[in-house]
Structure 1
Amino acid sequence: MRRTLIALAALSILAGCAVIVVPDGEGGMHYKSAFGGDAVQGNGQNLVETRQVATLDGIDVNGPMQVEIRVGQGTSLQVEGDSNILPLLRTDASNGTLRIWVEGNVRTSNPLRVTYTTPALHQVTANGSGQMNIAGLSGGPLNLSLNGSRAVRVSGYVSQLDARLNGSGGLNASGLDSTATVARLSGSGQLALGRVNGEQLNLELHGSGSANASGNVRNMTVRLNGSGSADLAGLTSQTAELSTNGSGSISAAVTQSVVAAANGSGGVTVYGNPAQRNVSGKRVSFVQ
């Protein structure tokens, strides 16, 4: 037991500042850090602060805050919140990544807001709750790693989207165009993957989450484990591998060849008339 506790403590330190959000019963929020003492009460005096920042193509956000990321000309960083809380909203740069976190315990009814403008964005890591909006993407790959209950909206164009979600959060990329997308969801979250036109869609769902996408691709691979659902009837693929284990369901449009397996009470619905079919399970159906 002692070794386990030591190991957990070490992992917490390596992970940075862990933040817990607790309603205070008075309409505000209590942001608790694993390393803080008594909470600092927000003074209600809103302050907007501009901070110096280098041009970085990655961002790592830990804690409950509203984040706006704009891909465009120039580089800037603006933070907003109670004037006595902002010193605890820490920002620094490490290995090409802008790190943002709350240090200590704070209690405030005013949300912390961060606005970051950068010429390029390729890596986003976010832990915790709150909203995040990413706009103006104009090429190159984008890697998203989201943990917790954060709601993230993404728009623009990327050559490839690589998204990993854990928890109950959501990714709304309905305003995003990509030529290839790889996505994995564990938990009860939601994925709206936008328009994929080009090479492939590779999707894995574990749990009760859901996903959807539209467009045209050469190859599609979808694997479900649990009670989730993948609505891909608006995405047409030349070839596809579709499998569900459990009570989850998949719907997809396929034109040439399909391998489909339904293991459990879930089902696979294929829209189209692919000439090559490899089917296992009783709950695979074709709709022309």
Structure 2
Amino acid sequence: MRRTLIALATLSILAGCAVIVVPDGDGGVHYKSAFSSDAVQGNGQNATETRQVATLDAIDVNGPMQVEIRVGQGTSLQVEGDSNILPLLRTDASTGTLRVWVDGNVRTSHPLRVTYTTPTLHQVDANGSGAMNISGLSGGPLSLALNGSRAVRVNGYVSNLDVRMNGSGGLNASGLDSSAIAARVSGSGRLTLGRVNGDQLNLELNGSGGANASGSVRNMTVRTNGSGSADLASLTSQTAELNTNGSGSISAAVTQSVVAAANGSGSVTVYGNPSQRNVSGKRVSFVQ
């Protein structure tokens, strides 16, 4: 009985604690509670450093920081924040990817900011929170792996956009043009995929997330599992496969051929008058 009471008391205490996941700099993480006493407090003295960096087309960001990635001439890396925190803002390029992370537990007075300029960019991995802005993209493929609550904005042009999002973050690519998109969301994340004109759009939503896009493609494949919503009425496709499972919704514009299935309480709305139709479920409708 005594052990049971101790266990319940321990669980009650832990239930009221926030647990912070901190990258350890070696690819892993360690955990701290909100009561950790070893956090480094920012001294309030803002400082800027310019660091040497190789020209790399991939970046991996871990931790709460604001990140600016500019695709342009030359290569440079600048970091900004409390002067006593900057030594803990680690950067490493030895693996062929620019890795940026916070070494330890910190409480900043000035936000940490990272600005990276590179001639080419093809891969971005981002974990944690804070704003990220990617600008100047001018061709080639781009792959985004986003985990956490980070808000990401992307501008420019890419041939192929691949997005994998987990968590509650957001991607605003309203200023992006692409020829093909493959995107997958798990959680409550929101995607604004911008303008896609070319081959195809492949989209999968798992959870309560949402996505929208505009433009014109030859084929689209869309699947929702859960309560997510795909608003693609501004994206016209010649052929489409649309499938919703749960309470989610899909709206899309189709001109020639469509396969549509609504399983559960969700709905599929097709804008247009495709001559070839394969429909299952009561909540599939056509709007001309």
- Scaled by the length of structure 2, the TM-score of the pair is 0.89
The corresponding residue for 1:28 is: none
The corresponding residue for 1:16 is: 28
Task: Describe the shift of the 1:129–1:256 C-alpha distance in structure 2 as closer, same or farther (beyond 3 A).
Answer: same
Once the two structures are superposed, residues 184-239 of structure 1 have per-residue CA deviations (whole angstroms, 9 ceiling, x without a partner) of 00000100000000000000000000000000000000000000100000000000
Distance in 2 (alpha carbons) for counterparts of 1:128 and 1:20: 15
Determine whether 1:61 maps to 2:64.
Answer: no
Contact kept in structure 2, 1:77 and 1:115, CA below 8 Å: yes
The corresponding residue for 2:201 is: 201
Query: When the two structures are aligned, how many residues end up with a matched partner?
Result: 266
Task: Describe the shift of the 1:219–1:19 C-alpha distance in structure 2 as closer, same or farther (beyond 3 A).
Answer: farther
How much has 1:49 moved relative to structure 2?
0.5
The corresponding residue for 2:177 is: 177
User: What's the secondary structure of 1:178's corresponding residue?
Assistant: strand
Contact kept in structure 2, 1:260 and 1:280, CA below 8 Å: yes
The corresponding residue for 2:90 is: 90
How much has 1:13 moved relative to structure 2?
8.3
Task: Describe the shift of the 1:20–1:139 C-alpha distance in structure 2 as closer, same or farther (beyond 3 A).
Answer: farther
The corresponding residue for 1:157 is: 157
Partner AA of 2:245 in structure 1: N
- Describe how 1:1-288 pairs up with structure 2 within 5 A: 15-17=27-29, 38-288=38-288
Once the two structures are superposed, residues 238-284 of structure 1 have per-residue CA deviations (whole angstroms, 9 ceiling, x without a partner) of 00000000000000000000000000001000000000000000000
Partner AA of 2:27 in structure 1: A
Distance in 1 (alpha carbons) for counterparts of 2:138 and 2:206: 31
How much has 1:116 moved relative to structure 2?
0.2
User: Between the two proteins, what is the percent identity of the paired residues?
Assistant: 83
How much has 1:164 moved relative to structure 2?
0.2
User: What's the secondary structure of 1:94's corresponding residue?
Assistant: coil
Once the two structures are superposed, residues 131-152 of structure 1 have per-residue CA deviations (whole angstroms, 9 ceiling, x without a partner) of 0000000000000000000000
User: What's the secondary structure of 2:93's corresponding residue?
Assistant: strand
The corresponding residue for 1:4 is: none
Distance in 1 (alpha carbons) for counterparts of 2:80 and 2:32: 20
Task: Describe the shift of the 1:234–1:223 C-alpha distance in structure 2 as closer, same or farther (beyond 3 A).
Answer: same
- Scaled by the length of structure 1, the TM-score of the pair is 0.89
Contact kept in structure 1, 2:42 and 2:85, CA below 8 Å: yes
Q: List runs of 5+ in structure 1 lacking aligned partners.
A: 1-10, 25-31
Contact kept in structure 1, 2:48 and 2:78, CA below 8 Å: yes
Partner AA of 1:15 in structure 2: G
Task: Describe the shift of the 1:74–1:173 C-alpha distance in structure 2 as closer, same or farther (beyond 3 A).
Answer: same
Q: List runs of 5+ in structure 2 lacking aligned partners.
A: 1-22
How much has 1:107 moved relative to structure 2?
1.3
Task: Describe the shift of the 1:14–1:93 C-alpha distance in structure 2 as closer, same or farther (beyond 3 A).
Answer: closer
User: What's the secondary structure of 2:87's corresponding residue?
Assistant: helix
